[in-house]
Amino acid sequence: MAFENRVDVDHPVHDIRTEAIKVFEEKGFPTKKDEAWKYTSLNALLKTDYSVFPKEESALEFKDVKKYFIHDIDSYKIVFIDGIYSSHLSQTSHEGLDVCLMSSALTKPKYRLIIENYFNKIAKKDDSLTSLNTAFSREGAFINIPKGKVVDKPIQIVHLATGKESSIMLQPRSLVVVGENAHVQIIERHQSLTENPVLTNSVTEIFTHKRGIVDYYKIQNDNQQASLIDNTYISQQQNSLASVHTFSFGGKLTRNNLQFIHKGEHINSTLKGITITEDKQHVDHSTLVHHATPNCESHQDYKGIYADRSTGVFNGRIIVEKEAQKTNGFQQNNNILIDDKATINAKPQLEIFADDVKCSHGCTIGQLDEEALFYLQARGIPKKEARALLMYAFANNVLESVKIPELKTRINKLIAMKLNVNIGFDL
């Protein structure tokens, strides 16, 4: 298997991988018969015969891919080209923190304890796609922030696909460990540079220790032949804050499996997303917040705008265990359907076993407000731009909590591009 030439058979990862292969062989790819995949079919994607490893390593110049980075800020960078680490485009570090590679974390003795403690510990063992990744992933980001360290600049993880293979399947695997009182911001992006099909099955495990803070931003603006299955698992200890913002504008099929697991009191989890789709795009957000401890809160806010024949899924699950008294779970999902043929399947699922909790959810599906449209037009703003402004306003709540100003500006520009208008949303 991928690492086996470098990982000795006594290494804990060896057994984990063997087990994962078994799970995948048994389960296979999920189908619409699986409840969790009822509205998202992988059939069309799996007809393509993907290469799993590129035949050759590719090099890229920064200037040619600069636009896929938030390049107006200083940042650490972990960059992969067709799944292989690019030292040329990356800026890693071992000074006071580890911003480096999974392959080195898995092989170097000094990281063995971390791997034993964290690798594959919260990734769902019986999930077939997660198991597929566990079995075959060869590379990814390894981020280890020690106790008390406030990381001075964001970390960008960028996966580029060159299209040199006629089609490729990528399986990045990342591990993020945020120590007590540590603070880190991470921006992740997957980008294909050609129209050749790409299927990415990504797994990320994030551990946030006491009072740790992690802000994770996912930019999903890939081209029309690229698909992404993102499996992100976050475990939080007491008083920690974790947020994930997902901006889904591009790609053929995108599935976000986002799971939060609570392991202490006074934890705060934030899950937000803006989805804007057109043509035949499909975006699925399947979230789970598992409240297992008392006095914690979670905030979910997903906005979706679906045009043409595009389809969306929001499957938001909140579980509140019997022990998790005084939980405050909030979930909001608002959708606008621009065209008659666009669809959204929204399914909030609240499973509450405690009796002293505050949980609320709200789900709306509607159209743009005609009165508001008239108001903007009456001020001289043409219909297309007026519609774009209203869509921006509709999604704006989600942007308010983005903590990196340059990232916010970039998202604003991406929204303007996606809506095909030449107006500045940034203020």
Partner 1 sequence: MLKIKNLHASVEDKEILKGINLEVKPGEVHAIMGPNGSGKSTLSSVIAGNEDFEVTEGTIEFLGENIDELAPEERAHKGIFLSFQYPVEIPGVTVTNFMKTAINETRRAQGLEDMPANEMLKKIREKSELLEIDRKFLSRSLNQGFSGGEKKRNEIFQMAMLEPKLAILDETDSGLDIDALKIVSDGVNRLKSKDNAVVVITHYQRLLEYIVPDYVHVLLNGRIVKSGTKELALELEEKGYDWIKQELAV
The residues that touch partner 1, with contacts defined as CB under 8 A, are 369-372, 374-383, 385-386, 389-390, 392-393, 395-397, 399-400, 423-427
CA atoms within 13 A on the CB side of 292: 12
We find the least distance from the C-beta atom of residue 15 to partner 1, in angstroms, to be 50
| Shortest spacing between CB 270 and partner 1, in angstroms | 18
- For partner 1, the closer of residues 96 and 366 by Cβ is 366
Closest to partner 1 by CB, 160 vs 402, is 402
* Closest separation in Å from C-beta 400 to partner 1: 8
Q: Which is nearer to partner 1, 84 or 423 (CB)?
A: 423
Q: How far is the CB of 414 from partner 1 (least distance, A)?
A: 15
Distance set, CA 267 to CA 143, 242, 287, 396 (Å): 21, 8, 17, 25
Counts for the chain of helices (H) and strands (E), in that order: 9, 20
Q: Given the complex with partner 1, which of 350 and 381 has the nearer CB atom?
A: 381
Task: Supply the minimum distance, in Å, between the C-beta of residue 412 and partner 1.
Answer: 10
Give the pairing type, strands 183-192 and 155-161: parallel
Crossing angle of the two packed helices 383-400 and 370-378, in degrees rounded to 10: 110
User: Residue 319: CB partners within 8 Å, gap ≥ 6?
Assistant: 288, 289, 290, 291, 351, 353
Angle between helices 128-136 and 12-27 (to 10 degrees): 140
**DSSP secondary structure string for all residues of 318-364:** EEE-TT-TT-EEEEEEEEEE-STT-EEEEEEEEEE--SS-EEEEEEE
Nearest to partner 1 of 19, 406 (CB atom): 406
CA neighbor of 413 nearest in space, from 398, 392, 397, 384: 392
If the CB atoms of residues 319 and 381 are measured against partner 1, the closer one turns out to be 381
CB of 71 to partner 1, least distance (A): 24
Tokens of 385: 């731009």
